[in-house]
Structure 1
Amino acid sequence: MISGDADAELRRLADDPSFAHRDAARHAIRFRADGDVADLVAIEDDPHPCGMTDVVFALAGAKRTWLNWVPMPAEAICNVADEVGSRRAQGEDLGLVRLALSSAEPASAITASLRVMGEVELGIGEFPAPDIRLPLRRGRHTVWRYDGTDPVPAVPAPSADAVRVLHEVGGEPWASPISGHVQAAPLGALPLPDLLGLLAHLPGPPGTPRWEYLAQSTPTYWYRLLQPWVCLGLLRHREDEPWAASTRREVLLDLALGIEDWTADAALFALVTAAYREPELRSEVHAVVRARLDAAAAAPRQVTIEESLAHLMLITPGRTADDRALATAILARAAREDDDTAPAPPAPEPNRRWWQRRG
């Protein structure tokens, strides 16, 4: 029986002489104490992996950013959209005609917010350097283009079947990236145009009690969560192709190093998941995560996904002391700037699919 207290459960497993993965449990305890990603990697690299090592991995990452939940939207437009959406959900007849942003914010954040608020005349004051519309590296695959200052999808809308699969697979957070990878298999079976279409057209949430509840507080969160799920689907797409020349690698790298957007950190999350599962990918993935974080840290303006990137850096296999110093400095600065009024993230609900074996 797995209890709701991850730390107590790990101590119990580590002290149980009949438990075959006591070393993994000890690594998990150490990771939760000091955040050394080497301990997390050691769990995944257990010489006898099975469903229980996946459970230990999930316990190690319980209530930790990206390991168990996606960061909340950090954009000003999402704050407005959440306020408007929550007041409407509680019965208030609230209209919004126009909205002005002092500077550009990610295309996904703007699109998600307009999904919640409806048609709004949006004004953007400036696109300060580095221009958010320009990719770090130009690739073949992109899901956004700009009509002047307005982001618009650069890919066709997904099919109704793709939306159905997304709702079935991605209606809840993952217990861990490892279990998320297993659960994302039906998404991976979708055609590539459907997966890219889901990223840009941002279909609405499933009609479940969870999302009806979150509509009263943080309706933009669904759109933040769905893109990492889709990127896990991209990681499962055409898995028979050798990684180096694969469609999944090309698409995820193009998104990760594309424009400054939620799709970038969603793709990076999928790549980090791949790095846990495939040790030979770790050097490449580490370099890509660090490149994206360096670009954010060097920008002489606010980068709304910077904290998210810092959290990803901290859980990337092969993370160095220098990586950790940069990421923790970014998070410390953000904490100093935070007025402590931001809402807490929605708590993940128990997910019994922890027990699924690896796919």
Structure 2
Amino acid sequence: MISGDVDAELRRLADDPSFPHRDAARHAIRFRAEGDVSDLVAIEDDPHPCAMTDVVFAMAGSKRTWLNWVPMPAEAICNVANEVGSRRAEGEDLGLVSLALSAAEPASAITASERVMGRVELGIGDFPAPDIRMPLRRGRYAIWRYDGTDPVPAVPAPSGAAIRVLHEVGGEPWSSPLSGYVQAEPLGALPLADLLGLLAHLPGPPDTPRWEYLAKSTPTYWYRLLQPWVCLGILRHAADEPWATSTRREVLLDLALGIEDWTADAALFALVTAAYRESELRAEVHQVVRARLNAAASAPRLVTIEESLAHLMLITPGCTADDRALATAVLARAAEAGEEDEDEQAPPPSKAEKRRWWQRRG
């Protein structure tokens, strides 16, 4: 994690005649001020890359969504789970028997919430079009299936050894996607079955002070964070295979274009990381990120990962003015909806609340 006044430090480096990567520091300053992804790409494509350019890249992305941290869960069921989990962590004996959602939410969000709350009787009012259960593109690899309205893992559970590796590698956010890629090497050494099992079965957090603290506020966040870590592991899996025909490419593309789920943006994040590292992958990755964002933005219903996808679009190499306009519009609309929610003191509900709600029953 980058600490201190990052902007001041970047200005110091840019003005230091003895610093060999002054141009990289200038690009970092511009990215933080203007958000143009071409400046991030220029840092990674420095003609003399070294550990210091990776540090400058991390400084450029400090406290930026996906570059430094994974977005918080945005689902209604996670809001309930965080409330239940945090109150239990404070010692309250709180039970929840049943829960109702007006519309379906991502399989990972439902599973993560049940990891926090325990199994509940879940009623889902509707699967509005486009059906969240339908992939954008059907591929070989899928980690979820649906038993009616209930998401069920379609892959075996991971081994205990795989869970231990995940806890060792993924207990903290990354300083940057580049450093995350390096840290994920032990995950990449795991069998593919273990990696897929980690994504669907969502083992609990490590026993560390960080996650004991977060259990009192946002216990679902661990499950949101672990999937991008696992996808970085998939990116490192069987790395000797040529990219075009590799298992890692096929798995990540199948997840990215699969059902509407946290695993879609987690896989896209890993692909974006690959695009920074290997310039020849950038056109394909850009196309996939835009396709997923297009699907979310055009949906006539709430898509809970839409904001996350917009943030990913803004850091994807090759992001065009049109891409940026769409992503910015998505984020502006979400911010406006959030302000409306804060201003409402009583019904009628906001547009988002009309399409997504929960209640306790029993």
**How many residues of Structure 1 are paired with residues of Structure 2 in the alignment?**
340
Give the AA of the match of 2:59. Answer: L
CA–CA distance in 2 between the matches of 1:143 and 1:48? 41
Distance in 2 separating the partners of 1:232 and 1:308: 17
Normalized against structure 2, the TM-score is what? 0.93
Q: Which runs of 4+ in 1 moved over 2 A?
A: none
Aligned to 1:326: 326
Distance 1:12 1:142 in 2: 48
Contact 1:3 1:9 in 2 (8 A): no
2:269: which partner in 1? 269
Structure 1 position 175, deviation (Å): 0.1
- Matched residue type, 1:326: L
Partner SS state of residue 4, structure 1: coil
Q: Matches of 2:239 and 2:158 in 1, distance apart?
A: 21
C-alpha separation between the residues in 1 aligned to 2:4 and 2:281? 33
Return the offset for 1:3. 5.3
Question: Offset at 1:17?
Answer: 1.1
| Cα shift readout 1:171-193 (whole Å, capped 9, x = no counterpart) | 00000000000000000000000
Aligned pairs for 1:220-299 within 5 A? 220-299=220-299
Q: Does the aligned pair in 2 maintain the 1:108–1:200 contact within 8 Å?
A: yes
Q: Which runs of 5+ in 1 are unaligned?
A: 342-359
5+ residue gaps, structure 2, are 343-362
Q: Aligned equivalents of 1:217 and 1:21: distance in 2? A: 41
TM-score normalised over the length of structure 1? 0.94
> Does residue 159 of structure 1 match 2:159?
yes
In structure 1, distance between residues paired with 2:171 and 2:220: 14
SS of structure 1 residue aligned to 2:100: strand
Alpha-carbon shift at residue 235 of structure 1 (Å): 0.3
Paired residue secondary structure (1:338): helix
Q: Paired residue for 2:140?
A: 140
The aligned counterpart of 2:58 is 58
Code of the aligned partner of 2:112: A
Shift of 1:12: 1.0
For residues 143-186 of structure 1, the C-alpha deviation after alignment (integer angstroms, 9 at most, x for no partner) is: 00000000000000000000000000000000000000000000
CA separation of 1:3 and 1:263: change in aligned 2, threshold 3 A: closer
1:345 paired residue number: none
Task: Find the residue that maps to 2:152 and give its secondary structure.
Answer: strand
The alpha carbon displacement at 1:243 in A equals 0.2
Deviations 1:116-153 (A, max 9, x none): 00021110000000000000000000000000000000
Encode CA deviations 1:27-85: one digit per residue, 9 max, x unaligned.
Answer: 00000000000000000000111100000000000000000000000000000000000
Q: Secondary structure at the match of 1:293?
A: helix
Q: 2:201 — aligned with what?
A: 201
User: Corresponding residue for 2:360?
Assistant: none
Deviation of 1:256 after TM superposition, in Å, equals 0.1
Give, in whole Å, the separation in 1 of the partners of 2:281 and 2:309.
19
Equivalent residue for 2:27?
Answer: 27
